[in-house]
Structure 1
């Protein structure tokens, strides 16, 4: 509650005049209904929000315990709480605001450790695989069954996809040669 608003209303009350609630609200950046409430209730007008606790307050111990786990994010903790409590919790924005207000650190002691990228020199690595049993049906209903040879070069990350009808050794060798060209 604003002391300035209450003081101004007390001046009007002492003079016996009814104030313009909209004008006072504009000057103090408040809603006119709030100013009218302060006029009606006087000094006993209280802001009910300050006495009300958050829905996350009873869960503070659980939130802090989960937040200390390595790699744990706010979204993961919030999803865990929603799963256990159902739909009774406020939204994710309210949860992040509550965490900031209560200084809850996330991600354990050091947070996530970066994973180093595996690099290979040019011409040293090729990874290949088969996707078997592919089926395509054309517009006339004819079914085509085939497999796909897929290869990825380690250095350039270049991908090759080669469709083949069978999976023989000759097919494998020809696909490897085509992947390197």
Structure 2
């Protein structure tokens, strides 16, 4: 007997609430007739004798793997290694019943009205190689509107919260408006406590304030529920279109242009989900989007400087790679600005040095390295000796 359903029905009777059998069946993952039977009973339903199944100990794991879109056979092999001795057909019949229920829930929840919802995700740590053989590790921010399937893609070099906010704002400008709610998975930049079966997600306070300023509600997606963000994950698969451009670009800026071109292509292709072109449906959807906030508020979120404290080694770290400065700046705070494939470092508003962005772990300029050597144990050596030591060590760093 389902005591949870029985107690719910007793409460609804007490409050004179007419139940929605279909909705309750979805919540309790049972047939609507089961809910109806409990509601119409006098509270003394006879408990049916439960026939044990070889599958009983594995049902929770099966449901979890189904929600991860695993095939029946792969799940069968998985639970066999964990002691399941039953037949494949038993699993298949159980899995089919779960699959049907899961599909219905996803369809009902996520076929959205115009302007209601967008979904966000990242294509993470994608390695792309330039014509010169330099490897760039990039991320691609992905946002898609639920009704039109209009996509916004943006190349980023990190996935921190400021980058996420900037990408969202750029997406809102691209869409010419803001959806009423945005669905995220449990990104650490969005939630402080992940959502699970037992607790609701706790939204990061800083991000909550940003969302409130923009006017959208934050919806945290439960982990291991891929159907709840299927539109974005389907889009992530389309990022395979980027792979043919390996060895076809020279700079990070050119790679950014390729991502923008890909974005335009995706929005003018026919969507399999709607059988429509996203850019055409967007003409309808944008009328339902919330208006953009005032420019001053947007600019405030877009112009926050990136700062670093110069280490004792006269280095600053950007995207896990180190870049050198003159040792006079050790202990001081500098501002980083990225443009045209270069990293500029500023002190008091003045550019003090500039590096080309690189995938190398250590990036020294020769004059910086020489000054560092002079300030350490090599101060007693001649300039020629220090110069030779610097050249030798810089060659070693280039090989790292």
User: TM-score, with normalisation over the residues of structure 2?
Assistant: 0.17
What is the TM-score normalised by the length of structure 1? 0.32
